[in-house]
Amino acid sequence: MAVLQKGNSISPFWGENINLITGLDPLGLQVTSEATYSTLLPGISNLTNRLRYYGFYCWLINFYFQKEKKGNQTEQYRFIRRAELMIAIIMQSERPEITQITGSLFASNLIKESIDNYDLAAGADKDKGNENVYWKYASGAFGQYYFGAMSALSLVVRYENDEGDIIFNITQPHPKQKVSGKQLADAFDEGLTEEIKTLFYNCIKKGKLSQNNISELIEYFAIDKVNPESIEWKLYVEMLLDKDYPSKEIEEDFTFHRRNTIASLLSTAEENNQEYNWYVYLDNCYEQKFKNIENTNIGWYCYQLNEYWQFACGLIFYGTLQYLETLHREEYLPKFISDFSKLINKESKTNEATTLENYITNIDKTEIDLLEQIERNNTPQENAKIGFDLLFKLYHNNKEQLPQLKEYLSRNGIIREGNVADGLFAITNHLQNDLQEFISFFIHKNIIYRHQMVALRKMGNGTQATNKFIIEEQMIRLIDTFPARWTSPRMNALRNLLYDLQVINDEGNITELHTKIAYQ
């Protein structure tokens, strides 16, 4: 019989070794959250945290075509990669406290060597045999991260040139679009002198950056702050407040979720002593549910509800894995589920006759109260019990909204398999069952079975597995534990963009500049 240990076969086994990896979202419940925040904040991603990169990349691509009359994909990628590394070095040299700079760790290691001249070609060019580079992706961080966000904002395009190469270019002004790539490129260029552009170009072409030039370059190419008096600043604001997808021309298709989100966040800060806190805004949306007719706020209500749902299930999953870990052995699956369900039921301090409906009705803690009970030293059954209580509280507080919720998710194209509406709807069928019976059913179907299904789906035809346990012949064996985690809804990225605009200060409060955005 083949034996699998940590993904490797230690007995004869007809197949390739499986590479067990950590993986994310082991229950596959975050996809509705991700689809929701992608709809509400298009043109921003969790990996595009610095606003001036948007203008810099537009300028860089335009600058490339000004300097290189002919070019191919390899040459353009090399141009972009050397420029990205140069920016990383000058930022890490002069402003190391600024985070989210492409290639900053690589640049930091170079700076520690205390050299007078940096070899951009060696650190950036992705030539065959050169693996020690600042970024693995061929077209740099621009191609991997920023291109998608900037393409959504209709700032950049990718097209096939006469030689059949797929290369990047910027968009030209359009009467129905507030900001084009060309406008941003020109605005960025306006702050540069001919001398500094020549220096920048020479560094890229020669593949060398002198330590002596860094203090001069940082004055023009700092990525973290935008001058509020500049045309560049005004264009960034117009870009963020434009319709979600500027390339759309049919008015019935226009949405303004990004603009509405920014306005609501700033309005919430005004109501809270100028403190910018996106958690407060999401909590407000959750409390308002469908009472607030603003479509964007309803979207964030749906997001927050799905987040509570996936986190509750994640907490139950974590407790289940913790309990399996305490056994220090494989366990017969039906017995494992039965024993753990009894422990959770005992933790709930109910009698055997308690129905699920009665138990749900008597939960007196709020969602926030329940989350505050999570502690590092909680037992497995305590974590799972908190997860179930949160699940039941979500059902109790949102059951009236479920039909409307599912309609909203479907109408906006953000409903995904495993969404909160379907998950909470299912509880209705078990209200007259006793609590322990439901707990046992839920762990079996929504935790054990679902994780197996998601892990298999993620593996596909590959050899990377995200399984946290293995079940063979009805025996369950632990591989690894996995704590419950929240999804990141691009709100931190948006905060960084507003910080770069100096709308938010170092103390986390909004400045007077917010009035130029909030009231447009």
CA of 210: how far to CAs of 56, 93, 221, in Å?
21, 12, 15
Alpha helices, DSSP H only, in 101-165?
Answer: 104-112, 120-124, 140-141, 147-152
- Report which of 470, 482, 446, 473 is spatially closest to residue 321, judged by C-alpha positions: 482
Tell me: the pLDDT tens digits for 476-499?
999 999 999 999 999 999 999 999
- Mean of all residue pLDDT scores within the chain: 92
Q: Which of 6-20, 359-373, 469-483 has the lowest mean pLDDT?
A: 6-20
Confidence check: pLDDT of 407 > 60: yes
Confidence check: pLDDT of 196 > 50: yes
Quick check: 258 and 240 in contact, CB under 8 A? yes
Quick check: 501 and 236 in contact, CB under 8 A? yes
Confidence check: pLDDT of 412 > 80: yes
Count of CB atoms situated within 10 Å of the CB of 223: 22
- Report which of 370, 362, 280, 32 is spatially closest to residue 288, judged by C-alpha positions: 280
Q: Which of 169-183, 448-462, 474-488 has the lowest mean pLDDT?
A: 448-462
Q: What's the confidence (pLDDT) of residue 163?
A: 78
Q: How far apart are CA 421 and CA 398, in angstroms?
A: 9
Tell me: the pLDDT tens digits for 224-256?
989 999 999 999 999 999 999 999 888 888 999
Q: Which one is predicted more confidently, 8 or 204? A: 204
**Residue 425 one-letter amino acid:** F
Mean pLDDT on 451-470: 83
Q: What's the confidence (pLDDT) of residue 302?
A: 97
Q: Which residue has the tokens 């507003």?
A: 498
Confidence check: pLDDT of 128 > 90: no
**Residue 194 one-letter amino acid:** E
Confidence check: pLDDT of 308 > 60: yes
Mean pLDDT on 68-97: 92
Q: How far apart are CA 394 and CA 430, in angstroms?
A: 15
Q: How far apart are CA 415 and CA 168, in angstroms?
A: 33
Q: What's the confidence (pLDDT) of residue 462?
A: 61
Q: What's the confidence (pLDDT) of residue 4?
A: 46
| Tokens matching residue 451 | 């994780």
Q: What's the confidence (pLDDT) of residue 127?
A: 77
CB contact set of 495 (below 8 Å; sequence gap of 6+): 276, 278, 504
Confidence check: pLDDT of 338 > 60: yes
Tell me: the pLDDT tens digits for 22-32?
568 999 999 99
Q: Which of 50-64, 162-176, 358-372, 417-431 has the lowest mean pLDDT?
A: 162-176
Q: What's the confidence (pLDDT) of residue 477?
A: 96
Q: How far apart are CA 488 and CA 486, in angstroms?
A: 6
Long-range contacts of 464-470 (CB under 8 A, 24+ apart): 464/18, 464/19, 464/20, 464/21, 465/7, 465/18, 465/19, 465/20, 465/21, 466/20, 466/21, 466/22, 466/23, 466/26, 467/20, 468/26, 468/317, 468/321, 469/321, 469/324, 470/4
Tell me: the pLDDT tens digits for 253-268?
899 999 999 999 999 9
Q: How far apart are CA 424 and CA 80, in angstroms?
A: 48
CB contact set of 275 (below 8 Å; sequence gap of 6+): 269, 508, 509
| Tokens matching residue 56 | 């810099």
Strands 166-170 and 156-160: antiparallel
What is the pLDDT confidence band of residue 130, given thresholds at 50, 70 and 90?
confident
Confidence check: pLDDT of 191 > 60: yes
Alpha helices, DSSP H only, in 191-294?
Answer: 194-206, 214-221, 231-241, 257-270, 278-288
pTM (2 d.p.): 0.91
Q: What's the confidence (pLDDT) of residue 463?
A: 53
Question: What is the percent of the chain where pLDDT is above 70?
Answer: 93
Question: Among positive and negative, which fits the CA dihedral 160, 165, 166, 167?
Answer: negative
Tell me: the pLDDT tens digits for 36-45?
999 999 999 9
